[in-house]
Homo-oligomer: A and B are copies of this chain.
């Protein structure tokens, strides 16, 4: 380990550790050497070692647990399948097997629900075709698995559609909010999903108890009725280290064309 290979020292140290993690000589959950040990081993100052570690933390490869040391991160994703709301059972044997493989079997789910009437955020207002000043009902849910927060799901509905309905009550709706909306005469037949990948905001970091180096998927689904009226926008924040998002697709039947 020297300066001739002209990467900065902290890069070289990070690379060395990353290689050990990739190769498996440092397994998930394993403890890294302490900062002091690495300082002596590489002959640099502690701050330089810390910079190398900070790099890996930001890459999501390791976590620090003061004062125990640094550890290789463990991962165990669970499936998020947006299509499930329109189709409980997968079409294909492939998807069936996939969902089974990643199921959260044996883990204990829980959710907290909160309902409010608010002015919609700009992106929601736009997708619901609302004039400025029109209000929305929002059902905010935080979902937990084994006591750990797993994702945030906020569903927005135009207030004039759902006022006084079951949707306004902060309880679990067994048959689903979509079904309630359908009973009110607004059955969704199509949805448009958008997925953005970015680093979390500080608020998201806090609400989801995210470690540094954990990106999130920002999933925004807009549900439309047969007539094309948007009646629901659902925003889900999915921490990258706890989820796989999956879709199944099928080739169109030729007669499908306009």
Interface residues of A (CB under 8 A from B): 15, 18, 58-60, 77, 82-83, 86-87, 89, 91-95, 98, 187-199, 202, 212-213, 215-217, 222, 224, 228, 230, 238, 240-241, 243-252, 257-258
CA A246 to CA B194, docked complex, whole Å? 4
User: Is the pair A249, B94 in contact by a Cβ cutoff of 8 Å?
Assistant: no
CA A251 to CA B186, docked complex, whole Å? 13
Whole-angstrom distance from the CB of A21 to the nearest CB of chain B? Answer: 11
Could you list 6 A-B pairs, sorted by A, with CB under 8 Å?
A58-B213, A87-B252, A92-B224, A192-B247, A196-B244, A197-B217
User: Is the pair A196, B240 in contact by a Cβ cutoff of 8 Å?
Assistant: yes
* Closest residue of B by beta carbon distance from A87: B252
User: Is the pair B202, A94 in contact by a Cβ cutoff of 8 Å?
Assistant: no
Residues of B within 8 A of A87 (CB): 251-252
CA A82 to CA B197, docked complex, whole Å? 16
Known contacts A224-B92, A224-B94; is-contact A248 B190 (Cβ 8 Å): yes
Query: Among B98, B193, B213, B257, which residue has its beta carbon within 8 angstroms of that of A199?
Result: B213
Whole-angstrom distance from the CB of A141 to the nearest CB of chain B? Answer: 20
Query: Among B189, B192, B249, which residue has its beta carbon within 8 angstroms of that of A86?
Result: B249
CA A250 to CA B193, docked complex, whole Å? 11
Which 10 A-B pairs have CB atoms at the shortest separation, nearest pair first? A215-B215, A197-B240, A195-B245, A193-B247, A191-B249, A86-B251, A59-B199, A189-B251, A197-B217, A94-B192
